[in-house]
Amino acid sequence: MQIRSLGKEDYSDFDRLMRQLHQLHVEQRPDLYLPMEHFCSREDFEKLLDSEDSIALCAETEKRITGLCLVTLRKKSVMVEMTSTYMDALVVDKICRHQGIAKALFRQAEQLAREKGAQRLDLMVWAFNQEAQALYEHMGMTPQRYIYEKKL
């Protein structure tokens, strides 16, 4: 397995994996997520790759993209001025899970974020996704806050 930066030629694999992640959200929270053919357009994907504030990584196994990680650099917070990062997505192809791909992507993203001057890495995970919660806790993350909801 190799971890590398996503390239513009990787759009179809990016789209395939992001659709898997989105489909999980659609299945678990149909009250919030709509089915869609594409998670984002090729144009938006290329803007993401061109942004200096983005870290866009993929895991490649035998010349096939098996996972991806997207992180955004945030230069200011409304509470304390600091450089932080937000992990927008970490997804591994459903047929390739439990092989260390997510951990390798997470570690590389964490290292690149540190190199860009980030002092913190944040992310959000749904309560239904206990497998992801276990991974993040294994990677040294701790809960920061709780968001509650009540259907009316």
- Read off the CATH number of the domain in which 30 is found: 3.40.630.30
Asked whether residue 126 is assigned to any structural domain, the reply reads yes
User: 67 — phi, psi (to 5°)?
Assistant: -165, 165
**DSSP code for 37:** S
Q: What's the maximum distance between 2 C-alpha atoms anywhere in the chain?
A: 49
Residue-wise pLDDT tens digits, 18-48:
999 999 999 999 999 999 999 899 999 999 9
**pLDDT of res. 73:** 93
Is 76's pLDDT higher than 70?
Answer: no
The answer as to whether 152 is a domain residue is: no
Q: Classify residue 66: in a domain, yes or no.
A: yes
Contact 135, 102 (CB under 8 A): yes
- 117 in a structural domain: yes
Helix, strand counts (H, E) of the chain = 4, 5
What pLDDT was estimated at residue 12? 96
Question: 145 is written with which tokens?
Answer: 């806050």
* Count of structural domains within the chain: 1
Give the mean model confidence (pLDDT) for residues 46-62.
95
Strand partners, 123: 87
Average pLDDT over residues 78-82: 75
pLDDT attached to residue 72: 96
Q: CA-to-CA distance for 56 and 69, rounded, in angstroms?
A: 6
Residue 143 in any domain: the answer is: no
98-146 tens-digit pLDDT: 999 999 999 999 999 999 999 999 999 999 999 999 999 999 999 998 8
Question: What does the DSSP 8-state code read for residue 40?
Answer: S
- 150 part of a folded domain: no
Residue 144 covered by a domain? no
Residue 17 lies in a domain: yes
The pLDDT confidence band at residue 80, using thresholds 50, 70 and 90, is confident
Predicted local confidence at residue 74, as pLDDT:
87
| pTM, entire model | 0.92
pLDDT of 77 higher than 70: no
Q: Which residue, among 75, 90, 101, has the nearest Cα to 141 in the 3D structure?
A: 90
Residue 6 near residue 17, CB atoms below 8 Å: no
CB half-sphere exposure, 13, CA atoms < 13 A? 21
Domain extent for 133: 2-138
